[in-house]
Amino acid sequence: MADRRGAEQPITFQQCAEAFLAANRDGWKNPKHVAQWESTLANWIYPRIGKEPVATIDRNAIEAVLLQPVPNAKDKPLWIARHETANRVRQRMERVFAYAIARDHRGDNPAAWRDNLEPIMPKLSKAKKRAKHHARLPHHDAPAFMAALRKRSGVAANALQFTILTASRSGEVRNANWLEIDLERALWTIPADRMKAGIEHVVPLSEPAMAILLAIPEANRRGLIFPGAKEDAPMSDMTMAAVLKRMERTGITVHGFRSTFREWAGESTAHPREVIEHALAHQLADKAEAAYQRGSLLPKRVRLMDDWADYLSRTASGTVIPMRREA
C-alpha cells in the first residue's frame, strides 16, 4: 500500500487479518464462525494492535493483548478472568500471523504457544482449570430431573429434553432442521458442516425423542425444529440455559448432560466404549477403529440410546414410564 507520495506503507495487523478472513470465508462451515472471528478481532485485538505494522508486532505486544484488563471482571487480566476467550484470542492471532508469514510480511509468529508464550504466561490454578469443565448432573439424579422437565411446556423445554435424550450438543439441536429427520427410520442425520468434527453424524432417535417430534403438528414440520423468537432463526444459546435457571438448577449446564450420559453409559451399562464414544460423535485416535465404527455400530447405538431413554424415564421406584410414538 502506498501513500500520496508513492511511498510504500507497511501492512497493518488489521489489514492482514481482513485479507486472511477474505481468503478463508468461503471455506468455513457457516456464517456464525466468521461472525465469531470478527467479534474476537474487533473486541480484543484491533484496539490493541490493529493499526500496528504486522511485521513489527512482537511477543510483548501479544502478551499485552492477552493480559489486558476486563472491565466487568474488576479489571482482572483477560487470561485469568476469561481464559477460554483469551485462548481463542491467542489462537486467532497465531493464524493471522501464520498468514502474514505465508505472504512474506514477516518471518516469525509472535503468538505461537510452545517455546514462545508458554514460558511467560501466568499459570492457571487447578481450581481455574477445573472451572473450564461443564458442570454436569450426576447420572443417578437424571431420571428425577427429567420427570420435572417433562412437566414443563414450550419450545425451549422440549429442545432441552431432546438434547438430553440424544446426548447432543446445544448448537446441533438449536439448528436442527426437519430435512435432517427421517421419521420412518427414527434417525436424525446432522450434516458435516454443523458438526464439531466436520463429519456427518447419524443419531438414532428413541421413542421419547420421537414423541417430542411427533407432538409437533405436521403442518409445522418445516424449517427449524426448535425455532427461536423468530420462526426462521434458531433460539439463542442461552434459551435452554434459561430453562435450567427457571428450574432453579443453576449449578449444571446444558452441555454437561453429555457428561451425565457418558458417566451413566460407562459406569452403569455394558455398552462398549467405542459405541458410547461414537454416540457422542467423538473422534477416536485409531483410524482403523473409526472406520470400523462408521460401518457397523448403528444397531448398537440404537440399543444404547433406547437404554438411555428407558433410564431417564424411570421413576423413584424403578418403574419405566411408557412413552408411545403417535400413530
Contact 212, 158 (CB under 8 A): yes
Amino acid present at 252: I
Per residue in 26-41, pLDDT (tens digit) is: 877 667 778 889 889 9
Where are the strands (E) in 45-112, listed by range? 69-70, 76-77
Instruction: Say if 58 falls within a structural domain.
Output: yes
Instruction: Say if 164 falls within a structural domain.
Output: yes
**3-class secondary-structure state, position 313:** coil
Residues 266 and 148 in one domain: yes
- Alpha carbon 301 to its chain centroid, in Å, reads 22
Q: How buried is residue 214: exposed, middle or buried, by Cβ count under 10 Å (0-12/13-18/19+)? A: middle
* Separation of alpha carbons 146 and 252, rounded Å: 14
* Separation of alpha carbons 20 and 26, rounded Å: 11
Residues 127 and 143 in one domain: no
Residues 60 and 22 in one domain: yes
CATH of the domain at 127: 1.10.150.130
Question: Which pLDDT belongs to residue 319?
Answer: 54
52 pLDDT tier (thresholds 50, 70, 90) = very high
Last residue of a domain, one of 90, 108, 131: 131
Question: Mean pLDDT, to the nearest integer, of 90-101?
Answer: 95
Residues 118 and 148 in one domain: no
Residues 156 and 269 in one domain: yes
Question: Which pLDDT belongs to residue 13?
Answer: 97
Residues 90 and 151 in one domain: no
Instruction: Say if 326 falls within a structural domain.
Output: no
Number of domains the chain contains? 2
Instruction: Say if 323 falls within a structural domain.
Output: no
* Separation of alpha carbons 212 and 288, rounded Å: 36
Q: Is the dihedral of CA 212, 215, 220, 222 positive or negative?
A: positive
* Separation of alpha carbons 88 and 95, rounded Å: 11
Instruction: Say if 7 falls within a structural domain.
Output: no
Per residue in 189-229, pLDDT (tens digit) is: 999 888 877 788 899 999 999 999 999 999 999 999 999 88
Per residue in 124-166, pLDDT (tens digit) is: 764 454 444 557 788 999 999 999 999 999 999 999 999 999 9
Residues 272 and 307 in one domain: yes
Per residue in 243-283, pLDDT (tens digit) is: 999 999 888 999 899 999 998 998 888 998 888 988 988 76
287 pLDDT tier (thresholds 50, 70, 90) = low
Residues 68 and 207 in one domain: no
User: Which residues are registered as beta bridge partners of 127?
Assistant: none
Last residue of a domain, one of 104, 131, 158: 131
Residues 121 and 167 in one domain: no
Domain enclosing residue 244, as ranges: 139-312
φ, ψ at 190 (rounded to 5°): -90, 120
318 pLDDT tier (thresholds 50, 70, 90) = low
Instruction: Say if 154 falls within a structural domain.
Output: yes
Contact 59, 110 (CB under 8 A): yes
Residues 292 and 198 in one domain: yes
> DSSP secondary-structure letter at 128?
H
Last residue of a domain, one of 65, 100, 131: 131
Residues 209 and 289 in one domain: yes
Instruction: Say if 191 falls within a structural domain.
Output: yes
CATH of the domain at 163: 1.10.443
